[in-house]
């Protein structure tokens, strides 16, 4: 009988601990500091977009040459499209997402990575600069300014442009058809 009471007491403590930990988890999930985790969770469960914004203000899809897959040197291919515009033209988020990186390095120079719907990674490169306050973890909506057209990285000295690419689980794919789809929906 005494052993049964001990066992029952242990189970009551375990159940109580689980309830308290669950309540703490629910509270924490609702706090402002968890917004990135919440938004990332929502975005990961969304389907991949069938249409996206052109990520350079004032540019129409018909103004963009489809250079996806074109050779770049002897050992690589172009994994995006180059969108030419005046230096300093705003670069906007093509989809909703969470900023995964804001950095100045490598071929892309000043760049921003955004994790969007279905976990796709959106790459904005060769920027002149970033939008004020843009930082890792910021939640963005389609159309929010991320930076400005430039020629940083290996594009230094070329006409100002944005290199924009999308990477899914199976690698990069051509974003231009998604821009055309968005334009067709406007008509």
By the 8 A CB rule, do 156 and 87 touch?
Answer: no
Q: Span 46-57, mean pLDDT? A: 95
Looking at residue 76, the DSSP 8-state letter turns out to be E
Q: Span 134-140, mean pLDDT? A: 93
The residues near 14 (Cβ < 8 Å, ≥ 6 apart) are none
**Neighbouring C-beta atoms of residue 171, cutoff 10 Å:** 7
Residues 100-109 pLDDT 10s: 999 999 899 9
Tokens of 74: 């002897």
Looking at residue 69, the DSSP 8-state letter turns out to be T
Give 187's pLDDT tier (boundaries 50, 70, 90): low
Per cent of the chain over pLDDT 70 is: 84
Torsion of CA 170, 172, 174, 177, to 10 degrees: 50
| Predicted model pTM | 0.82
Q: What angle do CA 94, 100, 102 make, to 5 degrees?
A: 90
Residues 31-47 pLDDT 10s: 666 677 788 888 888 99
**Distance of alpha carbon 61 from alpha carbon 179, whole angstroms:** 6
């Amino acid at each position: 009988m005494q052993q049964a009471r001990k066992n029952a007491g242990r189970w009551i403590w375990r159940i109580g601990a689980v309830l308290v930990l669950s309540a703490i988890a629910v509270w924490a999930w609702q706090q402002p500091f968890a917004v990135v985790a919440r938004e990332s969770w929502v975005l990961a469960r969304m389907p991949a977009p069938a249409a996206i914004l052109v990520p350079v203000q004032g540019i129409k899809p018909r103004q963009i040459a489809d250079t996806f897959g074109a050779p770049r040197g002897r050992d690589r291919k172009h994994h995006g499209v180059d969108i030419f515009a005046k230096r300093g033209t705003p670069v906007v988020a093509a989809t909703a997402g969470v900023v995964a990186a804001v950095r100045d390095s490598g071929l892309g120079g000043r760049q921003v990575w955004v994790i969007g719907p279905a976990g796709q990674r959106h790459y904005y490169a060769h920027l002149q600069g970033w939008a004020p306050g843009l930082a890792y973890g910021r939640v963005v909506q389609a159309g929010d300014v991320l930076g400005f057209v430039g020629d940083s990285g290996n594009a230094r000295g070329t006409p100002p442009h944005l290199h924009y690419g999308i990477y899914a689980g199976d690698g990069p794919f051509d974003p231009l058809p998604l821009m055309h789809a968005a334009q067709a929906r406007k008509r």
